[in-house]
């Protein structure tokens, strides 16, 4: 990683990375419409600069003694971006440091989406600047200036080489918006003041998502934070709170449960279709805090999510943070080090990406059949025999031109099944309707259609049982599907319960209610 230290020039701090000879400068105003500010809820135009704020005035105006967070820390610019495009061989970015600087200043630079360099200031005066050379001279380059996580840096404008101009930034189609909510682990403690090393940044960058980092160092669960999404069109939300709640003498476990529940309600009011991922507190050896066990806070998150899912929320999930972090990920026993933040983001992504997919998140479509090849018209593709043989037949069909026959069974659990995990992850928890037409080869038999679901809590069988004979009979039911932690597998299955006789299946459905 390239890192540049500040050079002192009387009246101005300047960090420089030069190539070529000096040229006359072309100033660009801070309010030029071709400059985008990304990751800020508010952009306030002052006399000579833009103030870039991650939160509303409602959050920022709260007294520290009354709020569950420190409003000074909330004024820092974690993961906010100044984005622009130009062919200028060199670009000077002029910034102003506000009083809320906490722990030094690290300015990250990306060119055309790739990390370029970082400029570090131990402490900057009011005005300072960085100058960057194009990595692709003569061609338009899109720059992303990543503001520091533990400082409040305002934007004063640009200087381009003589005759250079700004161009429109490339359009980003169908971009998912991601909001990360939490305490200092989300804000960026442990990664210096480098926003581009935080876990929300790594997660967003891996997927091409637009990021709003709503973490505040030192905060406890704040229900009002859900209201911040009223004008942030978040498709994906992560919540990582609990450690500070356990360590706060003022608040009980019940306080945490009440506030966490209200937080989710507030998010849902603003973003009814967003995918919400509730992360339990990550690994730490400091399990007991102020006489309270962090284990209880982890369980509280899991229980709240399960209750929300049971009540009909089809897009809320638990991720067990303690299971995807370890001691080597931490810088101080509590916060993630840079490598730990990267690993944490990668492991989060393994659970989040299959649910979110790519592009804009769309809500489930009630009634749409999630079963592939439901009538076996395409042979038995997408279906498997669980310890038995399956084949396509074209005689005595219920509907269409084909059915499936299930044979060569040696165990009752041998069955016809289809892997529906990805479809369920995309549609979320909630009520599902399932059906199938079934008949037996030899005589009356008790059969069952079911979803076989495995998660961190074990394996469950959700379905309906009835008697079938040698005539076609429809089996159907509606069941509430929820899971704990990671959904490990999910199968739609048709099986017998009493004998090993052959049976026939047609016209299978699985849909969101």
Residue 361: pLDDT over 80: no
Q: Are 215 and 78 in contact (CB under 8 A)?
A: yes
Angle, helices 199-207/338-356, rounded to nearest 10 degrees = 40
What does the DSSP 8-state code read for residue 193? B
Tokens 């599902």, residue? 432
Average pLDDT over residues 243-259: 95
For CATH 2.60.120.260, the residue range(s) in the chain are 1-169, 384-512
What does the DSSP 8-state code read for residue 348? H
The CATH number that domain 1-169 falls under is 2.60.120.260
Provide the 3-class DSSP secondary structure of residue 435: strand
In this prediction, residue 359 carries a pLDDT of: 53
Taking only the tens place, the pLDDT of each residue in 55-99 is 999 999 987 666 788 888 999 999 999 999 999 999 999 999 887
CA dist 25 and 164 (Å) reads 9
Q: Are 205 and 213 in contact (CB under 8 A)?
A: no
Q: What angle do CA 300, 301, 303 make, to 5 degrees?
A: 65
Residue 186: pLDDT over 60: yes
- What predicted TM-score, i.e. pTM, was given to this entire model? 0.71
β-strand partners of 38: 81
Provide the 3-class DSSP secondary structure of residue 415: strand
CA dist 120 and 109 (Å) reads 11
Provide the 3-class DSSP secondary structure of residue 428: coil
Could you tell me which residue, 381 or 345, shows the higher pLDDT? Answer: 345
The pLDDT-based confidence of 429 (bands split at 50, 70, 90) is confident
In this prediction, residue 17 carries a pLDDT of: 43
Nearest C-alpha neighbor of 494 from the set 416, 421, 418: 416
**Residue 480 CA to its chain's centroid (Å):** 24
In this prediction, residue 199 carries a pLDDT of: 98
The pLDDT-based confidence of 365 (bands split at 50, 70, 90) is low
Average pLDDT over residues 155-175: 94
Cβ–Cβ contacts within 10 Å for residue 472, how many? 17
What percentage of the chain has pLDDT greater than the value 70? 92
Nearest C-alpha neighbor of 43 from the set 154, 117, 122: 154
**Which tokens belong to 107?**
């300015």
HEC-encoded secondary structure of 438-506: EEECCCCEEEEEEEEEEECCEEEEEEEEEEECCCCEEEEEEEEECCCCCCCEEEEEEEECCCCCCEEEE
Average pLDDT over residues 259-267: 98
In this prediction, residue 484 carries a pLDDT of: 84
What does the DSSP 8-state code read for residue 191? B
Average pLDDT over residues 279-290: 93
Average pLDDT over residues 417-435: 88
Provide the 3-class DSSP secondary structure of residue 84: strand
Average pLDDT over residues 117-146: 90
Residue 181: exposure state from Cβ atoms within 10 A (0-12, 13-18, ≥19):
buried
Residue 340: pLDDT over 60: yes
Cβ–Cβ contacts within 10 Å for residue 367, how many? 10
**Which tokens belong to 59?**
């959050």
The pLDDT-based confidence of 123 (bands split at 50, 70, 90) is confident
For CATH 3.40.50.1110, the residue range(s) in the chain are 172-363
Average pLDDT over residues 391-420: 94
In this prediction, residue 16 carries a pLDDT of: 44
The pLDDT-based confidence of 378 (bands split at 50, 70, 90) is confident
Least confident range of 102-111, 154-163, 389-398: 102-111
In this prediction, residue 3 carries a pLDDT of: 56
Under CATH, which architecture does the 172-363 domain have? 3-Layer(aba) Sandwich (3.40)
The 445-455 sheet, strands edge to edge: 384-386, 415-419, 489-496, 445-455, 458-468
Residue 506: pLDDT over 80: yes
CA dist 58 and 64 (Å) reads 13
CATH class belonging to 384-512: mainly beta
Q: 166-167 and 177-182 as β-strands: parallel, antiparallel, unpaired? A: unpaired
Average pLDDT of the residues of the chain: 91
């Amino acid at each position: 990683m390239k890192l540049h230290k500040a050079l002192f020039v009387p009246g101005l701090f300047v960090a420089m990375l030069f190539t070529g000879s000096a040229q006359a400068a072309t100033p660009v105003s801070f309010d030029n419409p071709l400059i985008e500010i990304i990751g800020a809820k508010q952009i306030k135009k002052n006399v000579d600069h833009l103030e870039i704020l991650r939160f509303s005035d409602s959050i920022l105006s709260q007294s520290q003694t009354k709020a569950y967070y420190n409003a000074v820390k909330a004024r820092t610019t974690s993961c906010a971006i100044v984005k622009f495009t130009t062919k200028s061989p060199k670009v000077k970015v002029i910034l102003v440091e506000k009083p809320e600087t906490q722990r030094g200043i690290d300015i990250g630079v990306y060119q055309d989406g790739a990390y370029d360099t970082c400029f570090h200031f131990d402490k900057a005066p009011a005005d300072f600047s960085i100058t960057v050379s194009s990595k692709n001279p003569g061609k338009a380059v899109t720059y992303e200036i990543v503001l520091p996580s533990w400082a409040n840096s305002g934007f004063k404008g640009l200087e381009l080489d003589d005759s250079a101009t700004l161009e429109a930034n490339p359009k980003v189609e169908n971009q998912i918006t991601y909001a990360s909510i939490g305490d200092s682990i989300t804000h960026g403690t442990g990664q210096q003041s480098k926003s581009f090393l935080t876990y929300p940044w790594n997660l967003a960058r891996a997927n091409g998502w637009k990021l709003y980092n709503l973490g505040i160092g030192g905060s406890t669960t704040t229900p009002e934070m859900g209201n911040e999404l009223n004008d942030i069109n978040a498709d994906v939300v992560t919540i990582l709170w609990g450690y500070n709640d356990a360590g706060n003498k003022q608040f009980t476990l019940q306080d945490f449960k009440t506030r966490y529940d209200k937080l989710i309600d507030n998010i849902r009011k603003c973003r009814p279709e967003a995918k919400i991922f509730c992360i339990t507190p990550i690994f730490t050896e400091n399990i007991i805090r102020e006489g309270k066990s962090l284990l209880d806070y982890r369980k509280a998150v899991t229980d709240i999510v399960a209750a929300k899912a049971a009540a009909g929320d089809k897009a809320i999930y638990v991720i067990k943070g303690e299971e995807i972090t370890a001691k080597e990920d931490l810088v101080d026993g509590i916060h993630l080090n840079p490598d730990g933040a990267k690993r944490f983001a990668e492991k989060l992504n393994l659970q989040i990406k299959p649910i979110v997919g790519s592009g804009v998140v769309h809500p489930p479509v009630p009634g749409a059949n999630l079963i592939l090849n439901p009538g076996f018209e395409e042979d038995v593709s997408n279906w498997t025999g669980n310890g038995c043989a399956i084949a396509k037949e074209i005689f005595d069909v219920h509907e269409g031109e084909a059915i499936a026959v299930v044979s060569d069974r040696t165990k009752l659990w041998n069955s016809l099944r289809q892997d529906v995990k990805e479809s369920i992850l995309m549609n979320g928890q909630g009520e599902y309707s399932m059906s199938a037409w079934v008949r037996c080869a030899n005589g009356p038999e008790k059969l069952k259609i079911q979803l076989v679901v495995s998660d961190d809590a074990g394996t469950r069988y959700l379905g309906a049982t009835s008697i079938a004979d040698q005539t076609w009979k429809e089996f159907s039911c509606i069941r509430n599907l929820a899971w704990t932690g990671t959904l490990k597998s999910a199968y739609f299955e048709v099986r017998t319960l009493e004998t090993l006789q052959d049976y026939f299946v047609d016209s299978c459905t699985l849909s969101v209610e």
